[in-house]
């Protein structure tokens, strides 16, 4: 369940972990926006492998987020999902950002607050449908297809963002749920919808996308230290 709802780890290519782009020298000709997707800190739902609702950060999550304060890349624009866990993460990191409905987590409907094991034991066929059919929403909430479409629209819209002075935003930092970050990666690399379940996103990990609307690339996925 942690793999499906709020999981761990970093991506490796060619046996080497992808480092954070702000730690590496810029590449000549590198252009476009940099979108840094920061996963919210730990919650009880993550620790118990439950479908998230609007629960707050747990004590350990708040502590870990505070430890990361001052260690994030400079951003021209900061946004966070409207959930309490994302707002609290932004506040713990001292990020002056605005709430953005486009970053809202998936609506898990009747499964909200329940663990995957509980739902699987009660309705195994429904869970199978949810995992294998992107259009299925057996919980009565938002389907995977709907999440992917919504997050894709948000990402492409964000790619055209400008500062208060009217200049193009070069770096956008957004605090979001693991499911939203997975959906953004799938959209960026034009992967199959079901690939979303094969992407691990840990609390406070950073996923970096670069490019412009319709031309995104996955630059790095780095777990919190």
Domain ranges of the chain: 2-107+142-222
Each residue's pLDDT tens digit, 138-188 = 999 999 999 999 999 999 999 889 888 888 999 999 999 999 999 999 999
Share of the chain above pLDDT 90, in %: 79
Mean pLDDT of 47-58: 95
What is this structure's pTM? 0.85
Reported confidence tier of residue 211, pLDDT bands at 50, 70, 90: very high
Give the pLDDT score at 4: 45
H-type alpha helices, the chain: 2-5, 44-48, 59-67, 84-92, 116-122, 124-132, 144-158, 178-189
Mean pLDDT of the chain: 87
pLDDT the model gives residue 86 = 98
**189, 195, 192, 183: which is closest to 214 by C-alpha?**
189
- Select, from the ranges 18-22, 23-27, 78-82, the one with the highest average predicted confidence (pLDDT): 78-82
> Looking at the predicted structure, is the pLDDT value of residue 20 above 80?
no
Q: What is the pLDDT of residue 164?
A: 82
Comparing C-alpha atoms, which of 118, 109, 150, 132 is closest to residue 196? Answer: 132
Q: What is the pLDDT of residues 84-107, one digit of tens each?
A: 999 999 999 999 899 999 999 999
Q: How confident is the model at residue 24 (pLDDT cuts 50, 70, 90)?
A: very low
Pick the CATH number of 2-107+142-222 from 3.40.50.1240, 3.20.20.60, 3.30.230.30, 3.40.50.410: 3.40.50.1240
Residue 176 burial by Cβ neighbours in a 10 Å radius (0-12, 13-18, 19+): buried
């Amino acid at each position: 369940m942690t793999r499906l709802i709020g999981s761990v780890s970093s991506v490796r290519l060619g046996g080497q972990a992808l480092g954070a782009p702000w730690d590496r020298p810029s590449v000549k000709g590198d252009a476009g926006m940099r979108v840094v997707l920061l996963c919210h800190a730990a919650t009880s739902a993550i620790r118990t492998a439950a479908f998230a609702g609007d629960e707050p950060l747990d004590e350990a999550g708040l502590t870990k987020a505070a430890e990361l304060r001052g260690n994030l890349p400079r951003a021209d624009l900061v946004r966070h999902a409207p959930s309490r866990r994302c707002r609290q993460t932004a506040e713990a990191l001292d990020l002056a950002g605005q709430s953005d409905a486009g970053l809202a987590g998936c609506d898990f409907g009747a499964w909200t607050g329940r663990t995957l094991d509980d739902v699987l034991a009660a309705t195994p066929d429904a869970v199978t449908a949810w995992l294998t059919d992107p259009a299925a929403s057996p919980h009565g909430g938002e389907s995977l297809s709907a999440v992917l479409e919504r997050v894709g629209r948000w990402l492409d819209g964000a790619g055209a963002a400008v500062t208060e002075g009217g200049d193009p935003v070069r770096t956008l930092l957004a605090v979001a749920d693991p499911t939203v970050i997975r959906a953004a990666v799938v959209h960026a690399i034009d992967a199959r919808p079901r690939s979303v379940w094969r992407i691990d996103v840990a609390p406070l990990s950073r996923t970096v996308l670069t490019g412009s609307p319709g031309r995104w690339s996955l630059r790095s996925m780095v777990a919190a230290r």
